[in-house]
Structures are given as C-alpha cells and as structure tokens.
Amino acid sequence: MFELVEDHRGDTYRMVYTVRFAKAVYVLHCFQKKSPSGIRTAKTDIDLIHERLKLARNDYEVRYGKKD
C-alpha cells in the first residue's frame, strides 16, 4: 500500500492506494487529516483500509483471476 499526502489551504488530505495488481489500481480510502498533532492515522481509518484491501483482492480475483 502507498499513501499520498497533500496539503491544501492549511488542511492535509491523504489517499491510500495499492498497486499490487498487474491490471488494476484500487483506491482504498481518501480522507482529510483532522488531528492537529502528530502524523498518526486514526485506528478506524486503518481498519477501514485493511477491510477495503481484502475487498479489492477479492474483486481482482473475480475480474481477472488469480493475482499476477
């Protein structure tokens, strides 16, 4: 998984995506960083990312067969 971080007008936005698949890129989660301190991502966001990664793996297998 990779994370893209972008600052815009004083706010920070993050996008988490995966490129583990040969034929597709799945965006797993996009969100605005709200915590004023530290770089830690909230556990709820991390849990959601992991759940969506599982769904992406399943979707890829349905669409393209086993992972290349």
Q: What is the pLDDT of residues 3-59, one digit of tens each?
A: 777 778 887 788 888 878 899 999 898 888 776 666 777 888 889 999 999 999 999
Helices (runs of H) and strands (runs of E) counted in the chain: 1, 3
Confidence at residue 68, expressed as pLDDT on a 0 to 100 scale: 59
- Residue 50 contacts by C-beta under 8 Å, 6 or more apart in sequence? none
* Amino acid, res. 25: V
Confidence at residue 38, expressed as pLDDT on a 0 to 100 scale: 66
What is this structure's pTM?
A: 0.74
Q: Which domain holds residue 48?
A: 2-65
The count of residues in the chain is: 68
What would you measure as the largest C-alpha separation in the chain, in angstroms?
Answer: 43
**Bridge partners (DSSP) listed for residue 17:** 2, 27
What would you report as the CA-atom Rg of the chain, rounded to the nearest whole angstrom?
A: 14
- Number of independent structural domains in the chain: 1
pLDDT confidence tier of residue 63, bands split at 50, 70 and 90: very high
